Structure 1
């Protein structure tokens, strides 16, 4: 799979706030990668196998696949010359969708959602998105993003109807690690702007910090504090892109504590300062 958007450590090198669609030829990945999006993939021909959350998931052409990409994932088997369309939905946009809470939690916990049956309209619609996206028209791109969000909602409903239950029933059985991760994720999503440490998060989640970190790594593949940093960056990039708020205000509102700390983390993760990132958005 092409990895233009990932650095050598397997991390997303672009903006966590960016909605993106790309079409390319799929191939086996040399290593797993991860990023702060909910990823929707559609293989147009052939078949491929993902290594995701410690499981192998085989997917045939013509069926949408959805998963939270912060969990390290890798394609390990792909039929030759397989055309693939990837849709990257920012985490903050996914969290804002009007979907069943249990389904959202299951996806955040590692559910791998596959469209129950092939629909001719799926390939036609997603292919049209990819073609129109490539033209660069901002109005059409926004329309495609809106349509993709609606398609995600339909996919989750179709999956639940096919299983006769919510997605949560198809996910990994609930374990203490999953329960801890669910509580910690919710705490971070609601309180990311506050001064948080692993000890403080553990206290609020009523779990020992070491146990909290181990659980988070087991379920999500990253540490608690790494998720917190990624989430803060995602929200900061959203503010940089969509508002004229000062960098200091954004830094404080997103939990970085100071503009200097914000600059250091932002530059380390993106290769740009917050100001450079904001200015780059104005370029055609």
Structure 2
């Protein structure tokens, strides 16, 4: 077996939203003083230990031996990790991921900011081999090797999707992603990236449609087919997640946080936050004091 490649760690000086592209690297967790976000779907596979993210505004633990996936345009920040943690990180460009047209019950939770993980460790050994092979192939920087890596990544995510529980429906529906053209998916990617980069600004559906060169009604319909949520709900979700993170990690006032998160009034902020979290911003802050100082100063 080839020798392990020296693990990489997060560079706090990298430009915000800078792309990683198609990658697979051996990673070393380190304290993150700020969240990272980039427009790829990220795969984590821990060989040992644990990693705890603040994903959006939610504390999320990644366990060893279970493939875990999330959309990295959602701000994510390592706030804790176990001793002797070793893991792989792979990134897949969003455009490529969407064109695979994976099952909706897998894609939509990812696009709405949730982490999706394998339920068991049955595939731990084979996943370890896959990530090692992907790392070695991509390190060669040979375009001919990217295709088999992408095919293997696609197949692995299909298997993950097939193992996920599906909510029973009265009438099984065809995967709506199969009805969207590649051009449409490219437009959806543009819209999602635009929102992820600008949600703290004052945005309207008309502005978003204009950015993507689409009629606002068509943009809303296309987005909802892909992500399973409306443009407005998606924008609000980003803002609430931003507020959750600030409430849990700073001592800024609730009023300041509301405006920093892109809300135009305190009443709208309180209403949106309560609908999303089931409590007021102040109640949320009181119950999430665990993040205060959770990022270790050193290891």
What TM-score comes out, normalization by structure 1 length?
A: 0.57
> Which of the numbers 138, 141, 154 marks the counterpart of 2:159?
154
Rounded Cα–Cα distance in structure 2 between residues aligned with 1:12 and 1:24: 19
SS at match of 1:44: strand
C-alpha displacement of 1:139: 1.7
Which residue in the other structure is 1:189 paired with?
A: 188
CA distance in 2, matches of 1:220, 1:187: 25
- Change beyond 3 A, Cα 1:157–1:215: same
Deviation of 1:12 (Å): 3.3
**8 A Cα contact 1:110 1:220, kept in partner:** no
Counterpart in the other structure of 2:271: none
TM-aligned CA deviation for residue 36 of structure 1: 0.4
1:62 counterpart SS class? coil
2:25 to 22, 36, 43: 22
Partner of 2:199: none
CA distance in 2, matches of 1:131, 1:33: 25
CA distance in 2, matches of 1:33, 1:189: 22
Alignment: residue pair count:
191
Give yes or no for the alignment of 1:47 onto 2:46: no
Equivalent residues in 2 for 1:82-93, closer than 5 Å? 82-93=85-96
The reply on whether 1:215 has 2:242 as its aligned counterpart is no
2:246 aligns to what? Answer: none
2:78 to 75, 79, 91: 75
Q: 1:27–1:82: 8 Å Cα contact kept in structure 2?
A: no
CA 1:29 to 1:122, structure 2 compared with 1: closer, same or farther past 3 Å? same
Distance of 1:219 and 1:115 partners within structure 2? 27
Q: What 5-or-longer segments of structure 2 have no aligned partner?
A: 1-7, 169-183, 192-202, 210-215, 222-230, 243-260, 263-299
> Is the contact between residue 40 and residue 65 of structure 1 (CA under 8 Å) also seen in structure 2?
yes
Give 1:51 shift: 1.2
Deviation of 1:107 (Å): 1.2
Deviations 1:93-138 (A, max 9, x none): 1111132224322210112101111122111221222123223333
What 5-or-longer segments of structure 1 have no aligned partner? 167-184, 224-284
| Contact persistence 1:53–1:73 (CA under 8 A) | yes
Quick check: 1:38–1:94 contact (8 Å CA) kept in 2?
A: yes
Aligned equivalent of 1:139: 144
Aligned equivalent of 2:286: none
- 1:113-262 superposed matches below 5 A: 113-118=116-121, 119=123, 120-158=125-163, 160=164, 163=165, 165=167, 189=188, 198-200=204-206, 201=208, 204=217, 205=220, 215-218=236-239
Q: How does the TM-score come out when normalised to structure 2?
A: 0.55
Aligned to 1:2: 9
**Are residues 142 and 36 of structure 1, via their aligned partners in 2, closer, same or farther at CA, if it must alter by over 3 Å?**
same
Partners of 1:199 and 1:154 in 2: CA distance: 36
Q: By how many angstroms is 1:43 displaced?
A: 1.1
Q: What is the Cα deviation at residue 27 of structure 1?
A: 2.3
2:60 aligns with: 57
Task: Give the structure 1 partner of residue 109 of structure 2.
Answer: 106
Contact 1:63 1:116 in 2 (8 A): yes
Whole-Å separation in 2 of the counterparts to 1:186 and 1:141: 21
CA contact (8 A) 2:44 2:68 kept: yes
